[in-house]
Amino acid sequence: MFPNIIAIIQHRHSTKLFSLILGYSLWFCMAQYQTITKTIQAPLYFYDTNHQQCSSINAVELVLQGSRSDIYHFNPAHGAIHLDGSNLHPGENELTLSKENLFLPDSLKLVDLVPSHITIHVNSIEKT
């Protein structure tokens, strides 16, 4: 039995194929834990607006850092920025965005937020 295995291993095509599969498998296993940086678009959502209409830019760019596996499995829809409308007054409001406005898993790090300062226009909606 062993002479047949040795003959197969010594055959050039099987050695190349085995080397290719082994190399790809090692790369795949190691690449999952490699730290990468990715930029995604995150929409802005307002909650608790108390019958006010809030308007601002539609999205901001999030620069996230984490393992390839964590970033691959992160759903960009969960990266939305949630802003409390109860603290806003009619007119223009200047806000500084931060990590507290995001629901990011602990495995991901927020590197940058562009823009980090936004202007929100608030109009009161009349009740009828």
Q: Which residue range(s) make up the domain with 62?
A: 34-124
User: 52-82: per-residue pLDDT in tens?
Assistant: 788 788 888 989 999 888 888 888 777 788 8
pTM of the model: 0.63
CA 9/CA 12 separation, integer angstroms: 8
DSSP track, 50-91: SSEEEE--SEEEEEEEEEHHHHHH--GGGG-EEEEGGG--SE
Give the Cα-Cα-Cα angle 69, 70, 73 (nearest 5 degrees).
85
**67 & 112 share domain:** yes
Which CATH number covers residue 75?
2.170.120.30
**22 & 46 share domain:** no
Partners of residue 81 on adjacent β-strands: 44, 102
What's the chain's average pLDDT?
81
**72 & 25 share domain:** no
**5 & 42 share domain:** no
**70 & 113 share domain:** yes
- pLDDT for the residue 7: 66
Domain total in the chain: 2
